[in-house]
Each structure stands twice: as structure tokens, then as C-alpha cells.
Amino acid sequence: MRFPNQNQTKSSNLCRVQSITFRVNASKWVESLIFSPLLATCLELCVHNDHFLKLLKNQNFASSAPNSTSASSGRVITSKAAVAWEAGKPLVIEKVEVAPPQANEVKGQTPFFPRIFDHEAAGVVESVGDGAIKNLKPGDHVLPVFTGECGDCVHCKSEESNMCDLLRINTDRGVMIGDGKQRFSKNGTPINHFLGTSTFSDYTVIHEGCLAKIDLSAPLDKVCILSCGVSTGFCATLKVAKPKKGSSVAVFGLGAVSLAAAEGARISGASRIIGVDLNPKRFEEAKNFGVNEFVNPRDHIKPVQQIIAEMTNGGVDRSLECTGNINSIISAFECVHDACCFSDNSRNLFGNYKPRTDLPSVVDMYMNKKLEVEKFITHRVPFSEINKACDYMLKGEGLRCIISMEE
């Protein structure tokens, strides 16, 4: 998930599904995984690898024991990855080496570059490392998540928090938690990780706690977009705001996260869903997500919260703020009537969902046709054109872009 920009016209995301190998490793802390196949970023890029999926059909992963390993277990794997060598430059597709998972626990900080970005994806476990990996085995389908769930800390055991003490988001850390080292390299030069996922690569190493096991029949090139941005907005509505049937809801911002929040309001049965955005081009698209009224603050002299209060006889029942802009937050807070609910997605991390515990249920909602994900996917490009997908994002074109990984 990308946190939405203040300017919603530039908040489109790319999503990619691809072949990733998750290697899972565990010692005192379950560490990592080589995950193989469909990625999505919050550009957002979703990469789909048909060749890889065909290979999967010829391998009986389902019969593997929990800690069984593939032929590549313990070996360095060559992987194709989009590497960011420095800021402000296009990504470069390189052949990099991916070291196997390791044990041990140390802390470490690394420079930002070079780095392999992306964190929104879906894939298949290729192999697991040594240690007590109990919940994942080769062949399992998983969604990587930027904030994990160790299952043991006070936050993981709490019903009110998803801020895991061990695996919470850290944008500065470019190494694995287990030993403070990178798993990627190019000609001996270490390449840093990103958000513990680095899914712009054929193969990546991920902590077991940052992977949600999902239904094997779920199409990875679609549910990949549920691993971050879409689930963030959608789940914030269902789990935090909880609009009732027939209620009124205001959604500030009409980017992908905001539209996912609106989708949650639609599914909840809200009768009035008011979209607020500075870009009038967003309004028509938002109708597909249940938004049935629109307000552009630039069209009014009065503050937008006053306009909404007049439209709704005193204010809405629920208000969802998805931009992070301070002025928008104030308006969203003030547009609800007394004793009603305001939800700020910049304060509710990942919709307050626990990734391993709750995310599989979101995939199930899609499989049961309660949630539509296809309408979030607006573009598709091959992995070799990943920078084109980035351009879509910067220009504010579309919501999610699926990136197909070539053979």
C-alpha cells in the first residue's frame, strides 16, 4: 500500500503479480520465506507469471510436509528484480542473487539504496528455511504484508491493535530481522530490502509473520491487490467505522484506498455515500464503488464540512478520511453529526486488520462474490515495462496496474 498523496490526482497505484519464492526461516523468531509468484505493489503493480503457474501444476506441493524444502533450499538463487540504485532514477531490471534464509536475531540499519521496492503481492511458497515453521509449507498461496503478526506479543494478542512489536512497519530497515543482513546482492554488492517484502523480484525472502495464507483456488493475479491498499480502505470501513444499513457516509479522497473504503460502505448497506475530491474526473469512476453524491471543495465558498452538514441535515453518520491532508482531516472530523464516527486511515494502520488472522477472510469475501476486485485493476504491463507502470502512477492514471512477469 502506498499511503495516499495529499493530491489525490497522483495517488493511483500499480499492482503486480509475479513469481516470488518465499523462503521461510525460523529460530527463536520465525524469520523468512521464499515466496513464489504474484506480486502487487502500491504503485501498484501486480505481476502475473503464467510460466511459473504452469510449472506449479507439474509439482505436487500439496503433499509436502510442513518443513519440506525444494531443490533450491539452502542455495543461492538467481532472480530477476527491478532495482532502485538511487533516488530519482528509473528502476533497472537486473539479475540478482538471492541468498537462502538464515536464523539468529540481531538488529541493523542500512542505507536506502540500492534497494528492491514493492510490498503488495500474492505468491506461492517455494521453500522454507530451517526452524519452527508450522503454518506454511511449499505450495501454499500467500499474500505478503508490510506489517506483520508474530502472534506472541501483547499487540498480536489484543483484539484492539495490529501493531506487532516485532514486525511493525519500518521503512528504514533494509535487512532481515533475523540476522541483520540482506538476502539480495549483485556481483557481491548487497541490495537492501524494503518493508520486509521486496516483491519487485522473481524471488524474495520474507518473514513468516508477514505472510497471510489464503485459499488455493483464489486467482493470484487478482487477489494480489488485497495485500495492502484495497484492504486498508475496505477494512477500515468494516472494522473501524462500521456503517449501518441505511446510514450516510462521507469519503474524503477518491483514490484507490478511498474507493476501497467506499466499497466497504456500499457492502455495509449505506444509502448515501458522499465522495469528496478536488479532481472532478474521479467522480464518474467512483460511482462504480457505490459513491452516489459528490462534493468538490473548489466549487464552494463555504467549508466542505458545512456543505455536507447542509446536505445531510446536520452531518453524516460516518466519515472516512483517506488522504492524510490536515485540512481534509479537519473537514472529515467536523462533517459528522454528534455522537457519530470519524475514521482517519492515516491513524488506522491497514484498516486495523491483523494480516495473518484477518486478511484471508477478505480473500474469502472476493471468492464468495461479496467483494469485487476486478474494478480496481485498470492497467496491465509486462515486467520489462515496470517504469511505464510507475509513470501511470505519477500521472494519476488508473487505480491498479497488473504487471506480468515474463518467462
Say what the pLDDT of residue 351 is: 54
Collapsed DSSP state (helix, strand, coil) of residue 91? coil
How far is the C-alpha of 332 from the C-alpha of 308, rounded, in Å? 10
- Report the distance separating Cα 180 and Cα 172, nearest Å: 13
Who's near 58: CB < 8 A, 6+ residues apart?
Answer: none
For residue 318, give the nearest of 263, 265, 267 by alpha carbon: 265
Q: Are 254 and 8 in contact (CB under 8 A)?
A: yes
- Rama region for 227: left / alpha / beta (φ>0; ψ in -120 to 50; rest): alpha
Give pTM, 2 decimals.
0.74
125-158 tens-digit pLDDT: 888 877 667 788 889 999 998 888 888 888 888 7
**DSSP H or E segment with residue 281:** helix 281-286
What pLDDT digit, counting tens, does each position of 365-386 carry? 999 999 999 999 999 888 888 8
Burial bucket for residue 87 (CB in 10 Å: 0-12, 13-18, 19+): exposed
pLDDT tens profile 48-104: 333 222 222 222 222 233 344 455 667 787 888 888 888 888 888 888 888 776 542
Q: Which domains, from first to last, does the chain contain? A: 19-30+76-230+353-404 (3.90.180.10), 242-345 (3.40.50.720)
CB neighbour list of residue 63: distance below 8 Å, 6 or more residues apart: none
* Beta strand segments in 2-76, E: 14-17, 23-24, 33-40, 44-48
Strands (E), 145-288: 184-186, 189-191, 204-205, 211-213, 248-252, 272-276
- Pick the most confident of 110-124, 205-219, 304-318, 344-358: 304-318
What are phi and psi for residue 141, nearest 5 degrees?
A: -95, 135
